[in-house]
Structure formats: structure tokens, C-alpha cells
């Protein structure tokens, strides 16, 4: 079975541009988690969904960040406008109960 | 505030010896604990877990021990192999309650196994 699929794997863009990260859940999973990993803060949870409904978005750093689940198998994380301090590796993970299964991440660089 | 702590950022062990990675937590509501392994340029992968009703869980070379009174868990790898070199994350969850499914992660420990 395919795992969690994230795209793109790498994104380099200029400050002020809109960035959209994509995630495809494992079939049958009903929970979706977006994480950000940085040297300073480690692996931090941004937002998570259960059955397509956002449960906790308290980790979303600012209004510039938004996440959606347009259907049960797909999610997007959007940053608009992007800033250099948003540079990090962004992971999504899906689960049905435990454990969570992670994608390989998107390495985002904002110049 | 970090509810799950891994106080050793790195550990170096010789091949064939035991690796012991430690993790402490502060929230007594946690009742399910997991270890993940992460290689560079890949996502974390699930390794082993333990429920709070147990104090030990074993899977091949990997054993996780839970000491609830001390709010401490450890991962033992015996024997260690060079392919075990990775970052190991400890995570905790509250199975019961409103944060269903959420994991709280430690900062990770870089394990290096040398020949």
C-alpha cells in the first residue's frame, strides 16, 4: 500500500509568494496532522483534522497559514504571503487510531 | 512547554553493544507511548509502542520499558547495528480525552552506531 504522499519534496521561492504544500493520506485513515520541523523548535504540530474537521489549529503560527481538507484523502497547507522565517521541513501524517504514518516531508526555503 | 523530553541530543555506541535511549514526560494523563526513527531526508517511521497498562514491550532487537511512577520510558536496542544510526523520537498520546490521536514529541536523540 502507498504511504503518505507529500508534494513537492522541495520548494524554493521568494518572500511574499504564496506556497501550497500537498498531502495525500493513506487510504482508510481518518486523521490528518501537519507538522513543522526546525532546529530551534524541533517537531511541532501545526494543525490536525479528524474526519475532515479541524480539531486543533492552535499550533498554526499566524493567519498567513491555512490548511484545508477538501476531501477525505487530501489536504493542503497554504502560506500566503511567505516569509524567510517559514523556511523549514513540513511533514504531514495520517492515522486511524495509532500510530501516525508520516510522509517524507517538503523542504521549504523562502529567500 | 515541552511535555515530552529527551535530554540527550546524541548517543554514540559501538556495533554489537546495547543502545539505551531515554525519555521523560510530565503529563500524567499520557497513556500511550511511541518511538519513531528518522533517517535524513525521510519522514519519521514508527518503531514500537507501549500502553500504560504494560511496563515492557519487545519487538525483535527493540524493547521499550515504561516506568509510570517516574514518568520515564526507555528504548533498548540489542545488539546495535550501523543501520540503526538515525534520530529517535519519543512521543506520547492521550488515548482517552478530547485530543484524540494527537502526539506530543520529544526533540529527538541522534544515535550513531560505529563499527
Q: Going residue by residue through chain B (115 aa), what tens digit of pLDDT does each one get?
A: 789 999 999 999 999 999 999 999 999 999 999 999 999 999 999 999 999 999 999 999 999 999 999 999 999 999 999 999 999 999 999 876 545 678 999 999 999 999 9
Between CA A94 and CA A87 the distance in angstroms is 23
Between CA B85 and CA B37 the distance in angstroms is 9
pLDDT of residue B58: 97
CB pairs under 8 A between A and B: 55
Adjacent-strand bridge partners of A110: A13
Q: Helix, strand, coil % (nearest 5) of chain B?
A: 5, 55, 45
How close is the nearest chain A Cα to the Cα of B93, in Å? 9
Between CA B85 and CA B88 the distance in angstroms is 9
Residue A43 and residue B44: Cβ atoms within 8 Å? Answer: yes
The radius of gyration of chain A's CA atoms, rounded to the nearest angstrom, is 13
For A11-35, what is the mean pLDDT? 96
Amino acid at each position: 500500500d502507498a504511504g503518505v504522499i507529500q508534494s513537492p519534496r522541495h520548494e524554493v521561492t521568494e518572500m511574499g509568494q504564496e506556497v501550497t504544500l500537498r498531502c495525500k493520506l493513506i487510504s482508510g485513515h481518518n486523521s490528518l496532522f501537519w507538522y513543522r520541523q526546525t532546529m530551534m523548535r524541533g517537531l511541532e504540530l501545526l494543525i490536525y483534522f479528524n474526519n475532515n474537521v479541524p480539531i486543533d489549529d492552535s499550533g498554526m503560527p499566524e493567519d498567513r497559514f491555512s490548511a484545508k481538507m477538501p476531501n477525505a484523502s487530501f489536504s493542503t497547507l497554504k502560506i500566503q504571503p511567505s516569509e524567510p522565517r517559514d523556511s523549514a521541513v513540513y511533514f504531514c501524517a495520517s492515522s486511524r487510531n495509532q500510530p501516525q504514518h508520516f510522509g517524507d516531508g517538503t523542504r521549504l526555503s523562502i529567500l | 512547554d515541552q511535555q515530552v523530553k529527551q535530554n540527550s541530543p546524541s548517543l554514540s555506541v559501538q556495533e554489537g553493544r546495547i543502545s539505551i535511549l531515554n525519555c521523560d514526560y510530565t503529563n500524567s494523563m499520557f497513556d500511550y507511548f511511541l518511538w519513531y526513527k528518522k533517517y535524513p531526508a525521510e519522514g519519521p517511521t514508527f518503531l514500537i509502542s507501549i500502553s500504560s497498562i504494560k511496563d515492557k514491550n519487545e519487538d525483535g532487537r527493540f524493547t521499550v520499558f515504561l516506568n509510570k511512577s517516574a514518568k520515564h520510558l526507555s528504548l533498548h536496542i540489542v545488539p546495535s547495528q550501523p543501520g540503526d544510526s538515525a534520530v529517535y523520537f519519543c512521543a506520547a498520546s492521550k488515548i482517552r480525552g478530547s485530543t484524540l490521536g494527537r502526539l506530543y514529541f520529544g526533540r529527538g536523540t541522534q544515535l550513531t552506531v560505529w563499527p
